[in-house]
Structure 1
Amino acid sequence: MSAPRFDAVVFDMDGLLIDSERPIRDAWIEVTAQAGRPLTAEDYLGVIGTGIECARPHLQALLGEGLLYDDVRERVRLRLLERYGQTGYAPKPGARELLGWLQERGVPCGVASSTYLPEIERRLGLVGFLPSLQAVAGGDEVEHPKPQPDVYLLAARRLGVDPARCLAFEDTETGSRAAMAAGMQVVVVPDLKPPGAALAPLMMLGSLADVLAHLPGWFAR
């Protein structure tokens, strides 16, 4: 049986193209510890792969009545801006090479992220990835967050490609289910939170660098 062929790629961003999940998690842990209500790394796993509105009730419940989510989130934002505002988050291993391979062969690429669009563009701009992308879709542009398919469907629409002809790359189960619900096949590269055994992606790999060997079989360019 021949490998499936695709016409476009849609990437998640945080924890997939850029190594942002760890710094963001660490900032939440630091800020809440200083405020006297320390979150743990395990606590933060509950919001991996979700958008702001989904994270709000989960984190507010952990913070309790003494701290407001929006206040803590603003402190976290300022801390991250101080540390990464000029340099950006580091690209994940293999991300630059993967985007380069696809760009050289004219494969349309997009991003579908729960992060809000202006912040997506800022983060990807700082690492130089925006010129390799033909479409970007953010969590603030859709009604329903991941695991609903809205943001992936929007990215495919902006690319002008049938979702069934798009190959998605994700690091979380929540995001993978969103891409699958959009009709896409998914390659999973886990970051902080490996997906459950019930997920059935096209492939699961340890790094985006491992993807390069499979690309000729997926794209007839």
Structure 2
Amino acid sequence: MTIKALIFDFDGLLMDTETTLLDSWRAEWRRHGLELDESTFFADHGGDTTDEKYELLAGAVGPGFDRAASHARRTAYRDERHRTLGLTAGLDAWLREAEGLGLRLAVASSSRRDWVAGNLARTGDLARFEVLACGDEVPAHKPDPAVYRLALQRLGLPPEAAVAFEDTSHGVSAAVAAGLRCVAIPNLYAHNARFDQATLRLPSAAGTTLTEVLTQVEAAPI
């Protein structure tokens, strides 16, 4: 096997933090008797869009909107949901299989390092990853390839020696722009038709072994 390392996105791929994010905002809109427009909720790029989301909610609520109180409620709601949030189905088995194959593991995320490391530490998975490359360590977010290039730099590997795993089209674009082959597992809110750049697309990580996936990846052109 020529593949030496696996590089995973975090939000929506390793953990379904996308659903908890959406639920927290949906609950906050409903508290004000409003419905969130979910069709435009997820951005087509990585990074933090919190300010934009609060501006939209404030505009809908009007002058009485209290952002500080809203933020406190919403984050408390999401934190409670995260108490029992673990790895996405099938990912624990893949990570164990990767460890057995001697593959090195990394994360490349547009989110802050404290967010990624904190969530992985909470579930006892942080030590499994040799490298973290995060959004607050690079000048631009996905689809910019900077975070993947940083992960490869820290691994000391060329892109052909690693495979990326992503749940969004802009994440796939970032991985491909860094020269990586990429396995796409679209999240529940992604548009499946936008994953043409992926080397391989799967409905989930459950039901297939990592070895089977990597065999298909290795057979594909770089």
TM range (shorter): 0.7 to 0.9
> Which residue of structure 2 lines up, in the alignment, with residue 166 of structure 1?
162
Q: Secondary structure at the match of 1:208?
A: coil
CA contact (8 A) 1:63 1:69 kept: no
**How far does residue 126 in structure 1 lie from its aligned partner after superposition?**
1.9
> Which residue of structure 2 lines up, in the alignment, with residue 7 of structure 1?
4
Gaps of 5+ in 2: none
* Match status 1:21 vs 2:18: yes
* Match status 1:44 vs 2:41: yes
1:155 aligns with one of 151, 154, 165 = 151
> Which residue of structure 2 lines up, in the alignment, with residue 80 of structure 1?
78
Residue by residue over 1:49-90, the C-alpha shift from the partner in whole angstroms, topping out at 9 and shown as x without a partner, is 5210xx246525532534587775554222212332x43x23
1:99 aligns with one of 75, 95, 98 = 95
- Which amino acid is 2:53 matched to? L
CA contact (8 A) 1:147 1:177 kept: yes
C-alpha distance 76-49 of structure 1, shift in aligned 2 (>3 A): farther
Using the aligned pairs only, state the percent identity. 31
Which region of structure 1 is more displaced relative to structure 2, 105-114 or 189-198? 189-198
Stretches of 4+ moved more than 4 A in 1? 67-74, 216-219
CA contact (8 A) 1:59 1:69 kept: no
C-alpha distance 198-8 of structure 1, shift in aligned 2 (>3 A): closer
| Aligned counterparts of 1:207 and 1:48: Cα–Cα separation in 2 | 21
* Match status 1:207 vs 2:204: yes
Which region of structure 1 is more displaced relative to structure 2, 210-219 or 73-82? 210-219
Paired residues in the alignment total 211
C-alpha distance 198-113 of structure 1, shift in aligned 2 (>3 A): closer
Structure 1 segment 104-143 matched on structure 2, within 5 A: 104-143=100-139
| Aligned counterparts of 1:73 and 1:50: Cα–Cα separation in 2 | 21
Gaps of 5+ in 1: none
Q: TM-score, normalised by structure 2?
A: 0.83
- Which amino acid is 1:130 matched to? L
Residue by residue over 1:91-150, the C-alpha shift from the partner in whole angstroms, topping out at 9 and shown as x without a partner, is 211100001111112111100111110110111122222122110111111110111011
Q: What is the RMSD computed on CA atoms of the aligned residues?
A: 2.5
**How far does residue 165 in structure 1 lie from its aligned partner after superposition?**
2.0
| Aligned counterparts of 1:122 and 1:48: Cα–Cα separation in 2 | 25
Q: Secondary structure at the match of 2:151?
A: helix
CA contact (8 A) 2:172 2:195 kept: no
CA contact (8 A) 1:39 1:62 kept: no
Q: TM-score, normalised by structure 1?
A: 0.84
> Which residue of structure 2 lines up, in the alignment, with residue 30 of structure 1?
27
CA contact (8 A) 2:200 2:217 kept: no
> Which residue of structure 2 lines up, in the alignment, with residue 193 of structure 1?
190
> Which residue of structure 2 lines up, in the alignment, with residue 62 of structure 1?
56
C-alpha distance 216-203 of structure 1, shift in aligned 2 (>3 A): closer
